[in-house]
Structure 1
């Protein structure tokens, strides 16, 4: 009687994978959450950032900005190693007709634009000092990289799924007592 009660108590405990007293193998829903948590979070974050970019572009106005200054400092990235990063400041005509200046708030080794050069930028009519350049690097690179990481993380998730399903399909082991 006590032995049966202990088995029932044990069967109600939290588990990931288990083999019941009848030899049947079971996988908790927690296994599937653990397997797919990282890829889903990465893909969800990529979708969220892409949605934010799309929303920005939907409400933004397009104009030409003139480079009036370029900040430069030492940087580093995994592709190029040590670099010099540049952050241009653009002068553009805001919706109220006044000329204003703004930077993107980001930097890149690719943005060493000559002072006086003109580039297409986006700005939102409700924020005078928030602009983005019209290029892949500024608009879509971050969600694309995060989505790629999510897709790469699906590979081990599918391998783990295959292994768990194979374990679940194995013939039940009956305890000999």
Structure 2
């Protein structure tokens, strides 16, 4: 099981890295901010926000993307300009830069490391028992 978690973390890290490598950086303006009460144990008593960004594509057409996530710290002022990553030619969420991009990778890797110690101890005990 620890190997599966660590492999999953490596694959997730590779996918995040790939998205960042093939994306282009654009300056976008916050045109809307969705807000609602938090509904997870981590943000239950707070209000979470999800900004919507508008930017101009290279061909001159306008596009809108969401950040693809919600967080209490994303209450960005309307009209403010931010650098985001977008994947050209794909109609999908933009990537708002920051450490949160790698959060799920860190969580899965930490789970793999946490279950690694009991797994190694159990393997050592089983091996000792089998060799007696």
Please give the TM-score of this superposition, normalised by the length of structure 1: 0.69
Please give the TM-score of this superposition, normalised by the length of structure 2: 0.90
Deviations 1:62-113 (A, max 9, x none): 1111111100111134445432111100011212222211102321122111
Mapped to 2, the partners of 1:154 and 1:95 lie a distance apart of: 48
Moved over 6 A (4+): none
Question: Secondary structure of the residue that 1:76 maps to in structure 2?
Answer: coil
Deviation at 1:129, TM superposition (A): 4.1
The question of 1:135 aligning with 2:98 is answered yes
Higher relative contact order, chain-length normalized (CA < 8 Å, sep 6+)? 2
The structure 1 residue matched to 2:24, chosen from 45, 53, 61, is 61
Counterpart in the other structure of 1:27 = none
Counterpart in the other structure of 1:73 = 36
Larger radius of gyration: 1
Question: Unpaired runs of 5+ in structure 2?
Answer: none
Question: Aligned residues, how many?
Answer: 132
Aligned residues: CA RMSD: 1.5
Counterpart in the other structure of 2:78 = 115
Mapped to 2, the partners of 1:107 and 1:95 lie a distance apart of: 27
